[in-house]
């Protein structure tokens, strides 16, 4: 009797020989039977090899075309949508964006009346050119989601690198630019949070993400995809201003613990506790009291017109180190209606002790007396095929805390405003080319004022 190795070699030769014959069932058992019938295998050899094949079949899970019997926890496959993969029980998805704009800014001729403390318009009388990011820096996000013990669980990471060189300082990657050789761009790691929830319970979020108050203002702003007011065009940082400070206060990305309710026929609510923010320009503070924010939204259709309405609020007590306290608080509301190719958006906010442009900027006088502020913007965007045409106007106002504040800060900004005209062309489903004209104006309580005109041309990609 020949050895088992020689038997398997004989079977292999039989496979080669069988390829010239009509196809059989395809199983090893059928091939062994055919070789036995041809006399290639003796009865003893046939029975021994058949026994081996059956033993191996019992040890190896069956794998039909539908994957039956496979250990799915070890499988890797593409996701049904987006860019990502399914790794066992977890779904990993990637998304990102890259943009760049050539921005030319032309401020008014300098004079003794252009000084506006907190103004967003460029001053100095000299033109500037920059190749820079728009209101958005680039970004790369990674999400990991799964279901465990009936809970939908997720982790999210968002990295936002700019294309411009950054002069590192107190604001990190959002500090002013450094347009010199051998400098490097900065990465703003804005998002890192976990979520867990159930369909009928809602979702809890713990980590760093965009705030609730003011978030709808920037997310619905057409300059989010473009430039808007340049701000620091001579030495550009990670982003332009867009309509920040000329229509809304920047919501910011903040440490938080928030809860979002299930969707009830288009109505959804979110509430959260936030890391307390200290004033950027007011007296020193202890940061002992947390911030609280909430938002209510509605999405639906009214008479065939798509609608989204919202209202949000923020409050935080500020304890001053030298004694006393004040409360920063604000509320905003707005709506977006879409009828066919035309979308119209309106937004308004009012606040006390929040400041202007960003949270905590010029929010109080030197003694901690809160200043009031408000602002709004209106915009429209019409899209016809690949072409979109949009325009908007907005302004932000800041009031004095009292007469002493007025006497001490005569050139404090009273109103920042801007007009924006925008033209879009969707080159592909990923790439949008954008041209934009922006007129920005800043006016102080003293009557000083400055204005500038900017042109931006570039593009943005999303995947």
Position 22 scores a pLDDT of 39
Give the Cβ contact number of residue 448 at 10 Å.
21
Position 27 scores a pLDDT of 54
Rounded CA gap, 303 and 315, in Å? 36
% the chain with pLDDT above 70: 86
* Between 231 and 28, residue with greater pLDDT: 231
Look at 17-21, 336-340, 371-375 and tell me which has the smallest mean pLDDT: 17-21
Position 112 scores a pLDDT of 63
Secondary structure of 251-318 as H, E, C letters: CCEEEEEEEECCCECCEEEEEEEECCCCCCCCCCECCCCCEEEEEEEEEEEECCEEEEEEEEEEEEEE
Q: Looking at the predicted structure, is the pLDDT value of residue 61 above 60?
A: no
| DSSP symbols for 65-132 | TT-TTS-GGG-EEE-SSSEEEEETTEEEEEEEEEEEEEEEEEEPPP-TT---BT--S--SS--EEEEE
Within 8 A by CB and 6+ apart from 110, the residues are 123, 124, 125
- Per-residue pLDDT tens for 190-202? 999 999 999 999 9
72 band by pLDDT with thresholds 50, 70 and 90: low
Position 55 scores a pLDDT of 62
pTM over 0.85: no
- Per-residue pLDDT tens for 320-332? 999 999 999 999 9
**How much is the CA Rg of the chain, to the nearest whole Å?**
32
Within 8 A by CB and 6+ apart from 383, the residues are 341, 342, 343, 424
Under DSSP, is residue 52 helix (H, G, I), strand (E, B) or coil? helix
Look at 59-73, 217-231, 281-295, 348-362 and tell me which has the smallest mean pLDDT: 59-73
Look at 122-126, 207-211, 339-343, 427-431 and tell me which has the smallest mean pLDDT: 122-126
5 band by pLDDT with thresholds 50, 70 and 90: very low
10 band by pLDDT with thresholds 50, 70 and 90: very low
1 band by pLDDT with thresholds 50, 70 and 90: very low
Q: Looking at the predicted structure, is the pLDDT value of residue 19 above 60?
A: no
How would you classify residue 183: left for phi > 0, otherwise alpha for psi between -120 and 50, otherwise beta? beta
Rounded CA gap, 151 and 200, in Å? 11
Q: What is the mean pLDDT of residues 144-162?
A: 97
54 band by pLDDT with thresholds 50, 70 and 90: low
Q: In the beta sheet, which residues pair with residue 291?
A: 274, 316
Rounded CA gap, 126 and 412, in Å? 23
Position 176 scores a pLDDT of 77
Q: Looking at the predicted structure, is the pLDDT value of residue 376 above 90?
A: yes
62 band by pLDDT with thresholds 50, 70 and 90: very low
% the chain with pLDDT above 90: 71
304 band by pLDDT with thresholds 50, 70 and 90: confident
Position 18 scores a pLDDT of 40
44 band by pLDDT with thresholds 50, 70 and 90: confident
Question: Measuring CA to CA, which residue among 134, 185, 132, 188 is closest to residue 158?
Answer: 188
Position 203 scores a pLDDT of 98
Within 8 A by CB and 6+ apart from 291, the residues are 254, 273, 274, 275, 276, 277, 314, 315, 316
70 band by pLDDT with thresholds 50, 70 and 90: low
- For residues 381 and 388, the answer to whether their CB atoms sit within 8 Å is yes
7 band by pLDDT with thresholds 50, 70 and 90: very low
Give the Cβ contact number of residue 388 at 10 Å.
20
Rounded CA gap, 300 and 255, in Å? 31
- For residues 317 and 327, the answer to whether their CB atoms sit within 8 Å is yes
- Per-residue pLDDT tens for 415-450? 999 999 999 999 999 999 999 999 999 999 999 999
Whole-angstrom CA distances from 220 to 242, 269, 302, 388 are 12, 18, 19, 15
Instruction: State the number of CA atoms in the 13 A half-sphere of 377 facing the CB.
Output: 33
Q: Looking at the predicted structure, is the pLDDT value of residue 39 above 90?
A: no
């Amino acid at each position: 009797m020949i050895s088992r190795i020689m038997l398997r070699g004989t079977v292999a030769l039989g496979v080669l020989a069988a390829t010239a014959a009509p196809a059989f069932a395809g199983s090893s058992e059928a091939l062994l039977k055919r070789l036995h019938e041809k006399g290639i295998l003796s009865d003893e050899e046939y029975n021994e090899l058949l026994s081996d094949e059956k033993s191996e079949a019992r040890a190896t899970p069956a794998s039909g075309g539908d994957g039956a019997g496979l250990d799915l926890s070890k499988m890797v496959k593409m996701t049904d949508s987006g860019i990502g993969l399914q790794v066992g029980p977890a779904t990993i998805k990637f998304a990102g964006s890259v943009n760049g704009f050539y921005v030319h800014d032309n401020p008014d001729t300098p004079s003794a009346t252009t000084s506006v403390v907190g103004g967003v318009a460029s001053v100095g009388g000299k033109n500037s050119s920059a190749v820079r990011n728009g209101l958005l820096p680039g970004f790369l996000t990674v999400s990991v989601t799964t279901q465990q013990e009936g809970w939908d669980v997720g982790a999210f990471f968002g990295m936002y690198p700019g294309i411009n060189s950054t002069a590192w300082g107190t604001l990190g990657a959002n500090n002013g630019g450094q347009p010199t050789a051998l400098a490097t761009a900065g990465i703003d790691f804005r998002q890192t949070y976990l979520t867990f929830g159930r369909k009928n319970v809602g979702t809890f979020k713990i980590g760093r993400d965009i705030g609730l108050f003011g978030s709808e203002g920037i997310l619905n702003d057409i300059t989010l995809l473009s430039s808007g007011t340049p701000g620091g065009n001579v030495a550009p940082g990670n982003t332009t201003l867009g309509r920040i400070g000329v229509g809304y206060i920047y919501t910011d990305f903040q440490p938080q613990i928030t809860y979002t309710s299930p969707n009830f026929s288009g109505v959804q609510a979110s509430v959260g506790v936030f890391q307390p923010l200290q004033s950027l320009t007011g007296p020193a503070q202890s940061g002992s009291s947390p911030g609280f924010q909430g938002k209510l939204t509605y999405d639906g259709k009214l008479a065939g017109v798509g609608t989204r309405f919202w209202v949000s609020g923020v409050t935080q007590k500020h304890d001053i180190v030298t004694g006393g306290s004040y409360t920063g608080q604000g509320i905003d509301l707005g709506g977006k209606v879409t009828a066919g190719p035309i979308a119209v958006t309106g937004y308004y906010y009012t606040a006390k002790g929040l400041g202007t442009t960003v949270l905590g900027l010029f929010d109080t006088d030197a003694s901690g007396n809160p200043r009031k502020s408000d602002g709004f913007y209106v915009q429209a965007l019409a899209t016809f095929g690949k072409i979109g045409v949009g325009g908007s106007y907005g302004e932000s106002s800041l009031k004095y805390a009292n007469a002493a504040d007025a006497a001490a800060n005569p050139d404090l900004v009273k109103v920042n405003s801007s007009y924006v005209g925008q033209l879009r062309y969707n080159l592909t489903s990923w790439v949008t080319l954008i041209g934009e004209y922006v007129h920005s104006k800043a006016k102080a309580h003293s009557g000083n004022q400055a204005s500038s005109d900017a042109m931006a041309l570039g593009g943005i990609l999303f995947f």
